[in-house]
Amino acid sequence: MKIWPKTPSGKVDIKSLDIEQLESFLTSIDLPKEKGLRIYQAIWQRNIQSFSEINTIAKSDQRILDEHAELYFLELQQMLPSADGTQKFLWKIPQGGVIESVLIPDEDRKGGFSDRLTLCVSSQWGCAMKCSFCLTGDLGLKSHLWASQIAGQVQQISAQLPKGKRITNIVMMGMGEPVHNYNNLRVALKTMNHNFALRLSNRKITVSSVGLLPNLEKLAQELPVNIAISLNASTEEQRKQVMPITNKYSLEQLLNTCKSISELPHQQGRRITFEYVMMKGFNDSLEDAKRLTQILADIPSKINLIPYNENPDRAIKRPAFEQVKAFQTYLVSRGWYCSIRTTRGIDISAACGQLGKSFESA
């Protein structure tokens, strides 16, 4: 007998089902699976609050759905606006805590905002990876998020946007290690991508991972989304100091996996992004830059430099801008695509590596 995901009420969490699962669920409650697409579209595109609003099915079908299933919505606890246009959303979840999403408008060349609007989405409450530079890891892993809670961040923030505005890009770089919560992530990504749901192109969805290799490989094989790797070091020993996952999956294993992923048919023509948090005196030398060119030589890739966002809970310091720029120049002059991530939302603790801890400690 199929076990469906449930909400605390004991009913099936229908928004945690992909379209195939939804059709199977309908069959299990004696409804025709052919009605699945109509129900799926109403749930995700019309933002219905109750099954009685699905006017494309009979009232008797609505009652059956209401008896067996529930439409789950995240509870918005607070929205914090930043001076730079970034917005942080705090969501209270039934698991007992608060998760965060960050909406980031892109600046255009004239200093205004472009049409690109990126949402940084959380996949877990807390994180088990314990990377030394990330405050979310201080919480430990409290709970995996349900698929409805992951995709719901996109749906509910989209519903609040002014007319004519839409989320154009998704980055799974919020709280948690996305592929650690693989089954829920897979369903949520399919929902984000489906034409009868949130209609986001796979090319506009990026999943970041510290390198949880079996699930990372599975993701790359099953879903043609963009892959980003949190690298942050140029040697094995250096990476072990800041990323405990390296004790389980070596840097060599990680790079070999990335090379294999880049050779998959649906990944051809794409570059894997390597995220590199720059920490003063630790990984910011030109020798580090040189080693990066060597270890990434066989992988179609781009490098995203992230100057560390300082905070009182860490002794880690941010390199001088001149040092970051010299690092970038070294890579670019040798043919690498290398960008420097602009720090956004620093005044609301929404910058990279800051999610979760400030609110939990308040």
Q: Does residue 352 carry a catalytic annotation? A: yes
Please confirm, yes or no, whether 100 is among the known catalytic residues: yes
Q: For residue 126, count CB atoms less than 10 angstroms from its CB and return exposed for 0-12, middle for 13-18, buried for 19 or more.
A: buried
* E strand or H helix that includes residue 25: helix 19-28
pLDDT at 362: 39
pLDDT of 357 over the 80 cut: no
Q: Which residue in this structure is represented by tokens 């770089």?
A: 173
Q: Which of 192, 232, 190 is nearest to 208 (CA)?
A: 232
Instruction: Out of 70, 100, 177, 275, pick the active-site residue.
Output: 100
Q: What is the pLDDT of residues 222-257, one digit of tens each?
A: 999 999 999 999 999 999 999 999 999 999 999 999
List of domains in the chain = 12-70 (1.10.150.530), 75-361 (3.20.20.70)
Q: What is the DSSP string of 254-274?
A: HHHHHHHHHTSGGGTT--EEE
257-307 confidence digits (pLDDT tens): 999 999 999 888 899 999 999 999 999 999 999 999 999 999 999 999 999
189-216 pLDDT, tens digit each: 999 999 999 999 999 999 999 999 999 9
Contacts of 337 (CB under 8 A, 6+ apart): 271, 302, 303
Burial of 92 (0-12, 13-18, 19+ CB in 10 A): middle
Question: Is residue 260 a contact partner of residue 217, using CB atoms and an 8 Å limit?
Answer: yes
Quote the tokens at residue 60. Answer: 């008797």
> Does residue 179 carry a pLDDT above 80?
yes
- CA gap 291, 129 in Å, rounded: 25
Here the tokens at position 343 are: 């720090």
Cα-to-chain-centroid distance, residue 228: 10
User: In 10 A of CB 288, how many CB atoms?
Assistant: 18
Report the alpha-carbon distance of residue 4 to residue 195 in Å, rounded.
23
Q: pLDDT tens across 24-79, in order? A: 999 999 999 999 999 999 999 999 999 999 999 999 999 999 999 999 999 999 99
Q: pLDDT per residue over 101-140, tens digit each?
A: 999 998 765 555 678 999 999 999 999 999 999 988 899 9
* 73-112 residue pLDDT tens: 999 999 999 999 999 999 999 999 999 999 999 876 555 5
The residue from 131, 134, 258, 352 that is catalytic is 352
